[in-house]
Structure 1
Amino acid sequence: MTSRTPLTLAATVSACALALGVTAPAMAAPAADGDDQAMVSVFHGVPGLTVDVYANGDKLLGDFKPGTVTDPQALDAGTYDIQVFEAGQSPDGTPAIEKEVKVPAGADATIAAHLSAAGKPQLTAFVNDVSATDAGQARLTVRHVAAAPAVDVRAGGQPVFKGLENPKQDTTTVDAGTVSTDVVLAGTDTVAIGPADLNLKEGTDNIVYAWGSAADKNLKLATQTLSGTESTPNAAHADGSGAAVTTNPSDHWLTGR
């Protein structure tokens, strides 16, 4: 069961950085230079499946483990046929997931391999908002990429996101500092993930992925932190210790066409 739907990544100009301290594999990206490049990260949110990722027939990632987000890498602007195979499987076979992605010059984006609400593997591309925040502020984004129904995100027991569905996101800016949050099934007090604390540093863009499967009881959080104007990335594997709180819907998430 593969999907091949073109995605267009709306341009959000800026290089970005991840700062979470645990090394993840870097993409072996095609060379890019000048104004013809885009910055692209990949998040793996399909539980129990280590994968190899190919773009236009070339391997970008090998032995890519669930819950991991890559370093941002420069890619030449253009159209990429993204294929995800079980690790070690011949690229001549049928991929577990496949989608065509158009990457315009200047884009900053994350491609997420994850489960749909019904539990089927799919790819979703999200634009990363790396624009500057005001002094003392941090940007928060939550992306629902789990095989689970709609959720509410709470801070201090009060919902600040309501009815977030797969594969959508919400985002806003908040005061920098530590936020204690949890994720519950929408309209209930049934905790799906957490509670967890997220340390939001001034000037950072904090992206939290709720991923996994509710039916398999392996829901987790993974966190991607972008420091807007910096360009030396790290990557992270998060196993449930991050969370995020936002209040306003974002106009930066990407839909298939």
Structure 2
Amino acid sequence: MRTTRSLTLVTGTAGALVLGTGAAPALAAEADPATDVATVTVLHAIPDVPVDVYANGEELIADFEPGTLTDPLLLPAGDYDLEIFPVDADPLEDEPTAELADVALTPGLDATVTAFLAEDGTPTLMPFVNDVSVVPAGQSRLVVRHVAAAPAVDVRADGVPIVTGLENPDEEVLVVDPGVVSADAVLAGTDTVAVDPVDLDLAEGAVTTVYAYGSEDAGYQFASQTSTDTASAPTGVPGGEAGLADDELPLPLIAVSLAGLAAAAAASRRVATNRS
């Protein structure tokens, strides 16, 4: 029998990814994993549109299906031009579905690059910085990101609003009591459900990031990403890789090599079934 606890809000802040200019590193560049890399995951949250993902003009991920989150990639620090194209498009001839230039990945940065729909339905690429600082002892960190083609929403836990008026593409970071809660999203200031309830297992010392994504035509869903390397001592030691959502919010996965972009482009896939 699971234990369900109410959320106690404590504090929350979020950063922004540094954007800059400069020469982009080669995709196969070697880097010292201790000092010269950034950790990047990629989330495809544009409904119904499989894409190919390119970085600095080279294919990074092929046939990237909607609702898919990559495993963490360790990328050489530096500047990157990112593009997504419809599957099998010619990047030399065709216009990208979305693009983002001069993304500066600084050493030690942890970010999730997200392909999603702006509120007006425009395909968009945007990086979110992941707060991987140590979670206070006995607490859990919850990050809520609005990346759906929808107006502002309120996110509720066990029917109680914990985030209000969240607009696309904003996020809110909360420190909460650990436990299992039923989360949904409603149109801001109303009881009109936009995203149906799902159970979130907010583990002590972990960071759970929830994305509300989709469109009116395709429907709205939650995707989630969990990092368990942020616990305070003695429950955990910072380090390791960010994990994926608990079984309540499964996503198809891509098993991506951590050796760099060149290896990532050829990595194999692990697929799990999405739950609507």
TM-score interval for Structure 1 and Structure 2 normalised by the shorter chain: 0.7 to 0.9
1:135 CA drift (Å): 2.6
| Max Rg structure | 2
Change (3 A) 1:234 1:140: closer
Per-residue deviation, residues 160-190 of structure 1 (Å, max 9, x unmatched)? 1110000000011111110112100000000
Matches within 5 A, 1:1-257: 9-10=17-18, 31-33=30-32, 34-92=34-92, 93-100=94-101, 101-214=103-216, 216-228=217-229, 229-232=238-241, 235=244, 237=251, 239=274
Matched residue of 1:131: which SS?
Answer: coil
The answer (yes or no) to whether the contact 2:116–2:123 under 8 Å persists in 1 is yes
- Cα distance in structure 1, aligned partners of 2:83 and 2:218: 27
SS in structure 1 at match of 2:35: helix
Q: How far apart are residue 231 of structure 1 and its match?
A: 2.0
1:109–1:126 Cα contact (<8 Å) kept = yes
Q: Quote the sequence identity (%).
A: 50
Shift of 1:94: 1.4
- Aligned partners of 2:39 and 2:72 also within 8 Å: yes
Shift of 1:131: 0.9
CA distance in 2, matches of 1:29, 1:179: 43
C-alpha contact (below 8 Å) 1:29/1:74 kept by paired residues: no
**Could you tell me whether the CA contact under 8 Å between 1:30 and 1:74 is conserved in 2?**
no
TM-score with structure 1 setting the length:
0.79
- Change beyond 3 A, Cα 1:181–1:149: same
Partners of 1:147 and 1:240 lie apart in 2 by 20
Rounded to whole Å, the distance in 1 between the matches of 2:166 and 2:59 is: 33
Please list every run of 5 or more consecutive structure 1 residues that lacks an aligned counterpart in the other structure.
1-7, 12-27, 242-257
CA distance in 2, matches of 1:44, 1:183: 20
**1:47-75: CA deviation from partner (whole Å, max 9, x where unpaired):** 00111101001111111111111111111
- Structure 1 residues 140 and 103, CA gap change in structure 2 (3 angstroms): same
The answer on whether the counterparts of 2:226 and 2:242 sit within 8 Å (CA) in structure 1 is no
Give the letter for the 1:45 counterpart.
Answer: A
**Which ranges in structure 2 are unaligned for 5 or more consecutive residues?**
1-15, 20-26, 230-237, 245-249, 253-273
> Which structure is higher in RCO with an 8 Å CA cutoff and minimum separation 6?
1
> How many residues were matched structurally?
217
* Aligned counterparts of 2:139 and 2:67: Cα–Cα separation in 1: 27
Alpha-carbon distance in structure 2 between the residues aligned to 1:112 and 1:188: 28
Q: CA deviation at 1:9?
A: 2.1
Q: Deviations over 1:72-114 (max 9, x none)?
A: 1111111111010111212212111111111111111011100
The one-letter amino acid of 1:32's match is A
Q: AA paired with 2:223?
A: A
Q: Aligned AA for 2:226?
A: T
Distance 1:31 1:53, change over 3 A: farther
Helix, strand or coil: the match of 2:174? strand
CA contact (8 A) 1:31 1:75 kept: no
